[in-house]
């Protein structure tokens, strides 16, 4: 059986399915078994919770750090509160089963904490909710998969790949990933590419058709998975896997070369990262800088805000790893498909058009200034950090951010703390409003970076994660291409550098167009660095000019894509 989805991370993986199903925490069928027995069940569940949580805390302490692990040890301390425990026991005395006792008492505490106008207290509400669901999971025997301990050759089948799932995921054991949701530029896809694991996303009903232990072949380049393949298919794909690996190995010759076209004209080739640790991978991948550090991941794998010190250390680590090279760090891009539960953001009808990214941050100067201060301080030694604003739609937003940045500089000067006084402030061009006012924004910005993932979504009015409208979601659309060309032209006229950090920057078909229009910097996932360098290497200036002219004369996305695929097909 062939399962089709979105080709999200290149490569071929063969293995056996491990399915991560959502926990069902419904306890309506659980019968009350008497006071003593329910209390004993509760006690056993609490002990199990403590044991599992301290093991997780130790793992996180080793992998991430002390501060992060304290979140988990704090949960153990919360549950040890004698008052909370006696309330659960009273509930059992009153006829509630252990599950109902946990549910009622934790929900009461969570509601109480959530009602307080204090950030710390609200974070405790998130902790109690977490305790509730994990205790219920233990009581109900809901199986939880230990992702740090998967057997080798696992094909991970899950609804969504979240950043917290990737903590502890052992790449060497995961042959491939299939998810039921997410598009090519969803965060599931970006994480899979960062891990360099083949992935196919948006395979509807995959968790219904695939069972644990089923044999699977995943072709992440074609966007297909083959369920329980026969021997002939398996050996055919083993050969294809070898060919793919040989192709990747052949790119190694580009590892230490400069990024130049066939005429010797130089381009900058940067990498996109989602964590400080990934900067090491980027440096080894041959990237000449970081074109996008998505800082929201730093805010996501936890239950409370990272303070100035935690952020400073992360940004400084990247700055040091990339010493002598540029590091563009994007400020918190929360909302859309990136929820951060503890921020308590309101549910919105249209989250992609809502109170997100720069809009949210400007309304939360308390939180935003912590990040800006951490960035200013982190750039003090290497002077290689540049700050980038996400989802800008107006000049006002850039001015407001600059104003906050100036306030932060003032505060740091007063505190006598070192910081980068000349830090650059740039804008991500990822909305039609920004693209159409690129000339105005260029006057207020030190640089641009084009975010084609969102620019395509908003220009085409098409949800980037919705499989049903995926055929419209392509940067080959004439509307998107014209928008990109206009932004590059505006940046050139204003004399500021312009890069691209959306996934389109690594598309071999688009690369000649971007070169022809004068893009200065390409920022791609670490796994695409060498292939992008090879693509750039191949073209002469006169060739790309002709290709761009021809492509812009075509009126459909399929026409443009067909043409560009043909001209950029690998040379035989
Ligand atoms: C983009 O929108 O192109 C981008 C790079 O940002 P993200 O994918 O994180 O939205
Ligand atoms: Mg974006």
Which pLDDT value is given to residue 194? 77
**Which of 314-318, 373-377, 526-530 is the least confident region?**
526-530
Atom of ligand 1 nearest to the CA of 452: 3
Is the predicted pLDDT of residue 531 greater than 70, yes or no?
A: yes
Which residues are paired to 206 by β-bridges? Answer: none
Select the more confidently predicted residue: 166 or 371.
371
Give the H/E segment covering residue 208.
helix 206-209
Which pLDDT value is given to residue 75? 84
Mean pLDDT across 241-250: 92
- DSSP class of 157: E
Is the predicted pLDDT of residue 149 greater than 90, yes or no?
A: no
Atom of ligand 1 nearest to the CA of 333: 9
Which pLDDT value is given to residue 414? 98
Tell me which ligand sits closest to the C-alpha of residue 503. 1
Classify the C-alpha dihedral 191-195-201-206 as positive or negative. negative
Which pLDDT value is given to residue 216? 97
Ligand 1 atom 6 nearest Cα: 451
Q: How confident is the model at residue 229 (pLDDT cuts 50, 70, 90)?
A: very high
Which pLDDT value is given to residue 165? 67
Is the predicted pLDDT of residue 351 greater than 70, yes or no?
A: yes
Q: Is 442 left (phi over 0), alpha (psi -120 to 50) or beta?
A: alpha
Ligand 1 atom 1 nearest Cα: 451
Cα angle vertex 252, ends 268, 193, to 5°?
70
Mean pLDDT across 484-496: 98
Ligand 1: residue of 451, 455, 459, 505 to mutate (most ligand atoms within 8 A of CB) is 451
Best-predicted range by mean pLDDT among 55-59, 129-133, 534-538?
Answer: 534-538
Find the radius of gyration of the CA atoms of the chain: 25
Q: By the 8 A CB rule, do 499 and 246 touch?
A: no
Ligand 1: residue of 188, 191, 333 to mutate (most ligand atoms within 8 A of CB) is 333
Q: How confident is the model at residue 169 (pLDDT cuts 50, 70, 90)?
A: confident
Tell me which ligand sits closest to the C-alpha of residue 186. 1
Is the predicted pLDDT of residue 506 greater than 80, yes or no?
A: yes
Which residues are paired to 17 by β-bridges? Answer: 155
Ligand 1 atom 4 nearest Cα: 451
Atom of ligand 1 nearest to the CA of 504: 3
Spacing, Cα 476 to ligand 2 middle (Å): 18
Cα 222 to Cα 218, 290, 390, 534, distances in angstroms: 9, 28, 31, 21
Q: By the 8 A CB rule, do 372 and 417 touch?
A: no
d(CA 76, CA 88): 16
Which pLDDT value is given to residue 71? 74
Mean pLDDT across 49-67: 73
Spacing, Cα 429 to ligand 1 middle (Å): 10
Spacing, Cα 390 to ligand 2 middle (Å): 7
Mean pLDDT across 251-278: 94
Spacing, Cα 451 to ligand 2 middle (Å): 6
Is the predicted pLDDT of residue 326 greater than 60, yes or no?
A: yes
Q: By the 8 A CB rule, do 525 and 193 touch?
A: yes
Q: How confident is the model at residue 464 (pLDDT cuts 50, 70, 90)?
A: confident
Is the predicted pLDDT of residue 63 greater than 80, yes or no?
A: no
The pair of three-digit structure tokens given for residue 129, joined into one six-digit string: 């909710």
**Residues known to be catalytic:** 187, 501
Q: 243: how many CB neighbours lie within 10 A of its CB?
A: 10
Which pLDDT value is given to residue 60? 62
Q: How confident is the model at residue 572 (pLDDT cuts 50, 70, 90)?
A: low
Spacing, Cα 236 to ligand 1 middle (Å): 36
Mean pLDDT across 476-497: 98
* Secondary structure class of 70 (helix, strand, coil): helix
Spacing, Cα 305 to ligand 1 middle (Å): 22
Ligand 1: residue of 291, 339, 388, 502 to mutate (most ligand atoms within 8 A of CB) is 502
Q: How confident is the model at residue 133 (pLDDT cuts 50, 70, 90)?
A: confident
Give the H/E segment covering residue 59.
helix 35-63
Tell me which ligand sits closest to the C-alpha of residue 505. 1
Classify the C-alpha dihedral 474-475-476-478 as positive or negative. positive
Give the max Cα distance, the chain: 84
Which pLDDT value is given to residue 65? 63
Report pTM.
Answer: 0.76
Atom of ligand 1 nearest to the CA of 501: 5
Percentage of residues of the chain with pLDDT beyond 90: 69
Spacing, Cα 449 to ligand 1 middle (Å): 10
Q: List, chain by chain if needed, residues with CB within 6 Å of any ligand 1 atom.
A: 185, 292, 294, 333, 430, 451-454, 501-502
Which residues are paired to 271 by β-bridges? Answer: 290, 524
Mean pLDDT across 247-251: 91
Tell me which ligand sits closest to the C-alpha of residue 292. 1
What rounded mean pLDDT belongs to the chain? 91
**Which of 337-346, 431-440, 499-508 is the least confident region?**
337-346
d(CA 452, CA 160): 22
Nearest to 289 by CA among 449, 93, 98: 449
Atom of ligand 1 nearest to the CA of 190: 8
The pair of three-digit structure tokens given for residue 561, joined into one six-digit string: 């894509």
Show the DSSP H helices in 64-118 as ranges. Answer: 66-79, 82-93, 98-114
């Amino acid at each position: 059986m062939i399962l089709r989805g979105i080709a999200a991370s290149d490569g071929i993986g063969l293995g056996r399915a491990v399915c991560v199903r959502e926990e069902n925490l419904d306890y309506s069928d659980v019968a009350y078994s008497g006071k003593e027995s329910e209390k004993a069940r509760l006690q056993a569940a609490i002990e199990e919770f403590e044991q599992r949580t301290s093991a997780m805390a130790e793992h996180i302490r080793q992998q991430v750090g002390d501060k992060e692990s304290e979140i988990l040890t704090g949960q153990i301390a919360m549950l040890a509160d004698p008052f909370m425990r006696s309330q659960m026991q009273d509930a059992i005395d009153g006829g509630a089963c252990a599950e109902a006792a946990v549910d009622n008492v934790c929900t009461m505490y969570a509601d109480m904490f959530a009602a307080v106008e204090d950030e710390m207290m609200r974070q405790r509400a998130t902790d109690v909710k977490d305790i509730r669901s994990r205790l219920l999971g233990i009581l109900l025997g809901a199986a939880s998969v230990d992702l740090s301990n998967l057997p080798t050759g696992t094909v991970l089948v899950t609804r969504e790949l979240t950043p917290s799932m990737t903590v502890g995921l052992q790449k060497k054991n995961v042959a491939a990933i299939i998810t039921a949701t997410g598009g090519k530029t969803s965060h599931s896809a970006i994480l899979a590419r960062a891990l360099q694991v083949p992935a196919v996303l948006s395979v509807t009903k995959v968790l219904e058709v695939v069972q644990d232990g089923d044999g699977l072949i995943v072709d992440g380049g074609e966007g297909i998975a083959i369920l329980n393949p026969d021997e002939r298919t398996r050996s055919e794909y083993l050969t294809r896997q070898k060919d793919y690996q040989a192709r990747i190995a052949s790119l190694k010759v580009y590892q230490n070369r400069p990024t130049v076209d066939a005429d010797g004209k130089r381009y900058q080739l940067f990498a996109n990262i989602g964590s400080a640790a990934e900067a090491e991978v980027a440096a080894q991948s041959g990237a000449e800088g970081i074109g996008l550090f998505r800082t929201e991941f730093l805010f996501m794998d936890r239950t409370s805000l990272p303070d100035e010190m935690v952020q400073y250390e992360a940004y400084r680590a990247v700055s040091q790893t990339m010493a002598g090279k540029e590091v563009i760090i994007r400020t918190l891009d929360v909302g859309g498909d990136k929820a951060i539960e503890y921020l308590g953001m309101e549910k919105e009808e249209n989250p992609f058009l809502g109170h997100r990214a720069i809009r949210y941050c400007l309304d939360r100067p308390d939180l935003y200034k912590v990040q800006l201060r951490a960035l200013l301080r982190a750039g003090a030694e290497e002077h290689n950090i540049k700050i980038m604003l996400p989802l800008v739609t107006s000049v006002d937003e850039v001015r407001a951010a600059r104003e906050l940045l100036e306030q932060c500089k003032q505060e740091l000067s007063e505190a006598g703390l070192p910081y980068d006084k000349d830090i650059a402030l740039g804008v991500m061009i990822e909305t039609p409003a920004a693209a159409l006012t690129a000339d105005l924004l260029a006057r207020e910005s030190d640089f641009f970076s084009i975010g084609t993932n969102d620019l395509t979504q908003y220009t085409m009015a098409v949800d980037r994660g919705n499989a049903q409208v995926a055929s419209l979601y392509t940067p080959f659309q004439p509307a998107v291409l014209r928008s990109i060309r206009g932004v590059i032209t505006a940046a050139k006229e204003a004399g500021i550098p312009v890069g691209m950090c959306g996934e389109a920057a690594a598309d071999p078909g688009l690369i000649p167009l971007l070169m022809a229009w004068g893009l200065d910097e390409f920022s791609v996932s670490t796994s695409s660095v060498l292939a992008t360098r090879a693509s750039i290497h191949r073209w002469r200036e006169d060739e790309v000019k002709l290709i761009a002219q021809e492509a812009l004369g075509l009126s459909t996305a399929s026409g443009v894509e067909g043409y560009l695929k043909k001209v950029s097909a690998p040379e035989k």
